[in-house]
Amino acid sequence: MPLIPYLVVNGAAEAIAFYTEAFGVVEQFRMNDPSNGRIGHAELAIGDARFMLADEYPDFGAVGPDTLGGSPVTLHLATGNVDADAARAAKAGAMILRAPADQSFGERTALLLDPFGHRWMLSQTIEDLSPAEMQARWDAETGA
């Protein structure tokens, strides 16, 4: 049974356009609310991964990170080229919170904030490590 993130944003149509440009999202479908024109539900895909998206509906408790003052959730997106993908997302309007860098756990990562308040970690495997090797490197970095 898959776990599918459901994002709520203020400006779903603009978010879909951003995600398409920044991450190569393919829109599967959308349902527009006939009473107000908002997107009540959309399904999007990045490769084999799916996520859902809707405009804010505060009366149902559905609000985005900007309304809440941020989000503690980070979406992890595996990519083949962190540098190029981070640059493409920044060009589309994302803010780079942490520039692409190699990590001791065998990945190259970058952290982005999209224009709708959601954080994305782009990650590219550069080295296959066991959990024990990752822990040993982390211990060595911190002097533990």
Q: Report all structural domains of the chain as residue ranges with CATH numbers, in order of start.
A: 6-142 (3.10.180.10)
- Helices marked H in the chain — which ranges? 12-23, 65-68, 82-92, 131-142
Residue range 111-137: mean pLDDT, rounded = 95
HSE-up of residue 113 (Cα within 13 Å, Cβ side): 11
pLDDT computed for residue 143 by the predictor: 80
Percentage of the residues of the chain whose pLDDT score is greater than 90: 92
Model confidence pLDDT, tens digit, residues 41-85: 999 999 999 999 999 999 999 999 999 999 999 999 999 999 999
The total number of residues written for the chain in this structure:
144
pTM of the model as a whole: 0.90
pLDDT of res. 128:
95
Angstrom distance (rounded) from CA 56 to CA 114 = 16
DSSP 67-94: HHT--S-EEEEE-S-HHHHHHHHHHHT-
